[in-house]
Structure 1
């Protein structure tokens, strides 16, 4: 099992010192990865998870934050949970993600994309909210096309994006393309993961039966598309007070990564929660063992 940790600027603020110390402590504890969410804009009446949210929540740009964190850490993989893909132009996004991967030494490897649930966000960037699923599918194809293309250039003509003979450099570091995980809480998201994703990261308040059905659908869709369902990573949210029994139960469901949130608001207590979790699951010892391999 791999363990990541989330950092939400909406609740922690965008203070650079606090963000760096959180990331460095996560790395010292042995966590694999750090995730940040995205919201482009909020507006009066916007609801998330069924609750109206304050419009002043400081959702900082996740890719900019991850670049900042990457410069202050050495090992942490960088993740989004989730990036709202329909609201990004894939030609621009391909460049940003590849650049971040190169500058971080190959650590932009846990991109998770979703569709977004706020119609006002779509309107703000000129996107038809009803088409965001198709737009995301095409954007994934465009990202991979640009990353794989060489000096001869690549072309694309689709419903939302069109270009001819484009060359996008730099390329992701040492790999033909960056992994793209699919986030969401619907069967449509599960099918998207099976067809196009390198992993599935469901959220939301789903029943155990629905979660199992969705992951089964993702695997079945992958198999029907001629893809290896066993290569599909399965990430789930967790909490800092999780028990070993709960983690074992998730592993039995096929989960390969757990991203925990910390409940405390105080930075010192947040660090303590991460330390306690790392000790409970032996993360520091595991990481020390990895660092000693081959020495």
Structure 2
């Protein structure tokens, strides 16, 4: 089992020293990766399920922040949970992601993308909310095409994006494309993971039966598309105080990575929570770079 830390500046604040301290401590504790969420804009009345999001929450740009973290760390992998893919132009995004991966020497490897749930956020960036699923599918195809393309250029003609003979360099560090994990809490997200994803990271308050159904759907869709169901990573949220028995139960469900979030807002208590978790599961401390 792999373990990751999620750092949400909306609740912890955007202080750069605190972000770096958390990332470095997570790395020293042996956590595999650090995840950041995304909201591009908020507005009064924006709802996340039954909860209203205060419009002043300081969500940082996750890719800019991960680049900052990469410069201050040596080993920890970089992830998003989730990046709102339909609200980014894939030609620009492919370059940004490859740049972070190159500068971090291959650590931008846990990109998780989702569709977004706030209609006002889509309107703010000029995206028709009803098309965001198709737009995300196209964006994934565009980025992989650009990453794999050579000096002769690549072309694409889709519903939302089209171009001829484009070359995008630098390439990701030592690979033909960056892994793309699919986030979401719907059967459509599970199918997207099976068709296009390197992993599936479901969220939401789903009951065990629906979770199992979605994982089966992701795997069966992958098989029908001629892809390997076994190669699909399965990431789930956990809690910082979870027990070994709870981890074993998730492993029995096929989970390969658990992402946990410190509950404390004070830096010292956050570090204590991470240290206690690492000791409980005997994470490999102080790995060499």
Q: Which TM-score band (shorter chain)?
A: over 0.9
| SS of corresponding position for 1:142 | helix
| SS of corresponding position for 2:200 | strand
2:65 is aligned with 1:61: no
Q: What does 1:200-279 align with in structure 2 at a 5 Å threshold?
A: 200-279=200-279
| Displacement after TM superposition at 1:284 (Å) | 3.0
Q: What does 1:26-105 align with in structure 2 at a 5 Å threshold?
A: 26-105=26-105
| SS of corresponding position for 1:263 | coil
User: Which residue does the alignment assign to 2:8?
Assistant: 8
**TM-score when scaled to structure 2?**
0.99
Cα root mean square deviation, aligned:
1.0
| SS of corresponding position for 2:238 | strand
Supply the distance in 1 between the matched residues of 2:57 and 2:2 (Cα, whole angstroms): 30
Supply the distance in 2 between the matched residues of 1:49 and 1:97 (Cα, whole angstroms): 30
Supply the distance in 1 between the matched residues of 2:88 and 2:205 (Cα, whole angstroms): 27
| SS of corresponding position for 2:17 | helix
Count matched residues. Answer: 289
| Displacement after TM superposition at 1:49 (Å) | 2.8
Q: Deviations over 1:63-118 (max 9, x none)?
A: 00000000000000000000000000000000000000000010000000000000
| SS of corresponding position for 1:210 | helix
Supply the distance in 1 between the matched residues of 2:20 and 2:267 (Cα, whole angstroms): 11
Supply the distance in 1 between the matched residues of 2:54 and 2:85 (Cα, whole angstroms): 23
Supply the distance in 2 between the matched residues of 1:88 and 1:124 (Cα, whole angstroms): 12
User: Which residue does the alignment assign to 1:155?
Assistant: 155
Gaps of 5+ in 1: none
2:28 is aligned with 1:24: no
| Displacement after TM superposition at 1:50 (Å) | 1.5
| SS of corresponding position for 1:284 | coil
Q: Deviations over 1:236-274 (max 9, x none)?
A: 001110100000000000000000011111110000000
Supply the distance in 1 between the matched residues of 2:206 and 2:149 (Cα, whole angstroms): 39
2:88 is aligned with 1:107: no
**TM-score when scaled to structure 1?**
0.97
Supply the distance in 2 between the matched residues of 1:41 and 1:113 (Cα, whole angstroms): 17
User: Which residue does the alignment assign to 2:128?
Assistant: 128
| SS of corresponding position for 2:72 | coil
Supply the distance in 2 between the matched residues of 1:103 and 1:217 (Cα, whole angstroms): 36
Supply the distance in 2 between the matched residues of 1:239 and 1:65 (Cα, whole angstroms): 23
Supply the distance in 2 between the matched residues of 1:185 and 1:262 (Cα, whole angstroms): 22
Gaps of 5+ in 2: none
2:140 is aligned with 1:140: yes
